[in-house]
Amino acid sequence: MCTSILYSPKDHYFGRNLDYEISYGQKVVITPRNYEFKFTELPAQKSHYAMIGVADVAENTPLYCDAINEKGLGAAGLSFAGSGEYFSVTKDKKNIASFEFIPYLLATYETVDQVKEGLANANITNVSFEKGLPAAELHWLVGDKTGKSIVVETDEKGLHIYDNPVNAMTNAPLFPE
């Protein structure tokens, strides 16, 4: 079972274990400030924060499992199989593909409070990275250097953002459980 954790006594630590018996080709990946992210439904971002994390790189796209940006905002995507549900692109929403969620957050925001505000009208879409493959069912721990964290989940009822007083998260079930 994968677990992610945020620990910020006087220093700041954000991490997770990737509990798989096989490798998907993941490695440590650094995305510099000037790398252009071309998002599926959002405008491309040419100027953003640098980030480092664990990713598989496909078609010059870092598919981050977890990462942290230069401002101390980190995000980790963990399995949410059986509980997660994504939706079709919806007009009047900020549509974010699940595989773009971590790069979008870390490129755009510095703090958990900014993330919460920025996701107020968001929709995690069912668009997959590769045609013919389903989007991976994930939920995310997002934390910043102040020691504050949230859990972001999307299920049949929509997008949920939960304050996370324990600063840790595992795979399914739903966070409130």
Q: Catalytic residue positions?
A: 2
Which residue bears the tokens 């590769």?
130
CA distances (Å), origin 115, targets 91, 101, 110, 157, 166? 21, 11, 8, 20, 18
Question: What three-state secondary structure class fits 154?
Answer: strand
Contact 16, 4 (CB under 8 A): yes
d(C-alpha 127, C-alpha 37), whole Å:
16
Contact 127, 87 (CB under 8 A): no
Q: What is the CA radius of gyration of the chain?
A: 15
| String of DSSP letters for 79-134 | E-TTT---B---TTSEEEEGGGHHHHHHHH-SSHHHHHHHTTTEEEE---SSTTSP
